[in-house]
């Protein structure tokens, strides 16, 4: 009974006390209009807030829902007042009271307050975090739009919330790579799809690699990753091995680059005596291999590989192709075992085989793998790859395949 009376007295105070306390019971728009005419008396407001804090826990446990709701609404209205109307200490007290009461009002009111503070540049900190951790119907506007929620709070919600919380966070217009990495760690397909569709997200290299690895087993992620602007060539060429034909073509043509400028720079340095091609430094040799490619390898040997194939000399065939391309036998075997045929087109173009020679080799391998010839449609597709890809670009792709930078992502060899 005493508690109910205290609630009624409190509501009465907040609505109609003195001329000064009347200000706090007016609608926010009217308070703003009265700002210059009737300044807020901070001592009176502070007294009211301290009195309210004393009753907050009692209100949280009482069954008298209406006074509690009125109190929460009135206090949330005060949050919209300007800094010269409500002092920082008063705002802190409002924050503390609302945090104690907010869990004891219905979701619709919590959502309304969450929507209100989501757009605030300096919202009450404790209330913001509490509502951000609420059920998704309440927290959505804060998780998606609030710039005041810290990365540490978002990461904590990612780890302790549910899939719906993570999906909303993944759609944020402002999302750091640290939060994105936390979302990637959860490895939920629907969340990863939302994340990849969010063009404003900047992924870390580690985050992109983990999603690429996941895409080996989740095909819906593949086109989303391939179309990301920040996808780099090394990762794209690693993903190539498990992509379908249409996405393979996208990777080959999107990352087709020329090394002409780099090669000219090296040639100038050699001509001026500033550089030695016979350096024993393994890092220098690896860099040169990427820049100069296979132009110093025995390309002429490629034309003899068919003789070895026709006579059944498989070992000589593999060795000849590897020497001609300047790559390892293991990479050649991986290319020949690939069921799609696009990798073979890259290899044959890199060693300057003619189109007829490529098609003949592709047909021989198809018969060896499936005991059937290439379909006309498939043959035309592979010929398009061969014709469209510049020799220099094809050679650079071989360098990527021969020296994969992401050992954990390289596809295992499969049998023919």
Which H or E element spans position 99? helix 88-101
Number of domains observed in the structure of the chain:
3
**Residue 326 shares a structural domain with residue 201:** no
**Residue 293's pLDDT is what?**
58
- Which residue in this structure is represented by tokens 């807020």? 40
**Residue 393's pLDDT is what?**
87
| Residue 13 placed within a domain | yes
Sheet strands (E) in 276-341 = none
Q: Mean pLDDT in the chain?
A: 78
**Residue 91 shares a structural domain with residue 184:** no
Neighbours of 334 (CB within 10 A): 20
The three-state (H, E, C) secondary structure of 34-75, written as one string = CCCCCCCCHHHHHHHHHHHHHHHHHHHHCCCHHHHHHHHHHH
**Residue 90's pLDDT is what?**
85
In this structure, are residues 186 and 213 in contact, taking their beta carbons and an 8 Å threshold? no
**Residue 88 shares a structural domain with residue 211:** no
| Residue 251 placed within a domain | no
pTM reported for the whole predicted model: 0.72
Does pLDDT of 58 surpass 60?
no
**Residue 221's pLDDT is what?**
97
- pLDDT tens column, 172-230: 999 999 999 999 999 999 999 999 999 999 899 999 999 999 999 999 999 999 999 88
- Select the more confidently predicted residue: 342 or 320: 342
**Residue 325 shares a structural domain with residue 190:** no
**Residue 397 shares a structural domain with residue 357:** yes
In this structure, are residues 174 and 200 in contact, taking their beta carbons and an 8 Å threshold? yes
Does pLDDT of 169 surpass 80?
yes
Does pLDDT of 48 surpass 80?
no
- pLDDT tens column, 326-356: 889 999 999 999 989 999 999 999 888 889 9
| Residue 404 placed within a domain | yes
**Residue 151's pLDDT is what?**
96
The rounded percent of the chain whose pLDDT value lies above 70 is: 69
**Residue 268 shares a structural domain with residue 401:** yes
- Select the more confidently predicted residue: 16 or 31: 16
**Residue 315 shares a structural domain with residue 384:** yes
Burial of 293 (0-12, 13-18, 19+ CB in 10 A): buried
**Residue 269 shares a structural domain with residue 402:** yes
**Residue 188 shares a structural domain with residue 301:** no
| Residue 253 placed within a domain | no
Does pLDDT of 262 surpass 50?
yes
**Residue 265 shares a structural domain with residue 203:** no
**Residue 45 shares a structural domain with residue 82:** yes
Over residues 79-90, the mean pLDDT reads 79
Radius of gyration of the chain (CA): 34
| Residue 145 placed within a domain | no
- pLDDT tens column, 279-314: 666 666 566 665 565 544 444 555 567 677 777 778
DSSP letters of 252-269?
HHHT----HHHHHHHHHH
Instruction: Determine the longest span between alpha carbons in the chain, in angstroms.
Output: 107
| Residue 206 placed within a domain | yes
**Residue 85's pLDDT is what?**
82
In this structure, are residues 255 and 233 in contact, taking their beta carbons and an 8 Å threshold? yes
**Residue 415's pLDDT is what?**
34
76, 105, 134 - which closes a domain: 105
210, 231, 252 - which closes a domain: 231
- Which residue in this structure is represented by tokens 């503070």? 117
**Residue 51's pLDDT is what?**
52
| Residue 264 placed within a domain | yes
105, 121, 139 - which closes a domain: 105
**Residue 264 shares a structural domain with residue 404:** yes
Structural domain range at position 201: 150-231
């Amino acid at each position: 009974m005493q508690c109910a009376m205290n609630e009624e007295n409190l509501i009465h105070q907040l609505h109609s006390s003195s001329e000064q306390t009347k200000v706090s019971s007016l609608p926010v728009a009217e308070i703003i209009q009265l700002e210059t005419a009737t300044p807020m008396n901070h001592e009176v407001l502070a007294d009211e807030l301290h009195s309210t804090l004393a009753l907050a826990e009692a209100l949280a446990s009482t069954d008298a829902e209406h006074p509690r709701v009125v109190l929460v609404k009135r206090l949330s209205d005060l949050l919209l007042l300007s800094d010269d109307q409500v002092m920082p200490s008063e705002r802190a007290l409002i924050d503390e009271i609302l945090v104690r009461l907010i869990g004891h009002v219905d979701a619709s009111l919590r959502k309304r307050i969450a929507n209100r503070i989501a757009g605030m540049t300096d919202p009450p900190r404790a209330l913001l975090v509490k509502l951000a951790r609420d059920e998704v119907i309440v927290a959505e506007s804060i998780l998606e739009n609030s710039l005041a929620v810290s990365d540490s709070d978002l990461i904590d919600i990612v780890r302790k919330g549910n899939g719906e919380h993570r999906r909303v966070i993944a759609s944020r217009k402002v999302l750091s790579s640290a939060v994105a990495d936390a979302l990637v760690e959860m490895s939920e397909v629907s969340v990863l799809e939302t994340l990849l569709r969010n063009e404003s997200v900047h992924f870390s290299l580690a985050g992109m690699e983990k999603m690429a690895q996941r895409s080996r087993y989740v095909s819906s992620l593949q086109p989303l990753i391939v179309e990301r602007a920040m996808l780099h060539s090394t990762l794209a060429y690693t993903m190539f091995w498990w992509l379908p034909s249409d996405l393979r073509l996208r990777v080959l043509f999107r990352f087709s680059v020329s090394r002409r400028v780099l090669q000219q720079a090296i040639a100038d340095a050699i001509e001026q005596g500033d550089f030695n091609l016979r350096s024993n430094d393994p890092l220098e040799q690896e860099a040169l291999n990427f820049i100069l490619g296979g132009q110093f390898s025995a390309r002429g040997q490629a034309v003899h590989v068919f003789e070895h194939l026709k006579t059944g000399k498989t070992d000589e065939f593999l060795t000849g192709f590897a020497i001609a391309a300047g790559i390892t036998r293991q990479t050649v075997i991986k290319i020949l075992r690939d069921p799609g045929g696009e990798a073979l087109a890259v290899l044959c173009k890199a060693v300057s085989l003619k189109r007829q020679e490529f098609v003949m080799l592709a047909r021989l391998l198809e018969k060896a793998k499936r005991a059937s010839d290439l379909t006309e449609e498939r043959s035309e597709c592979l010929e398009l790859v061969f014709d469209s890809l510049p020799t220099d670009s094809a050679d650079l792709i071989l360098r990527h395949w021969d020296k994969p930078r992401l050992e954990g992502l390289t596809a295992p060899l499969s049998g023919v």
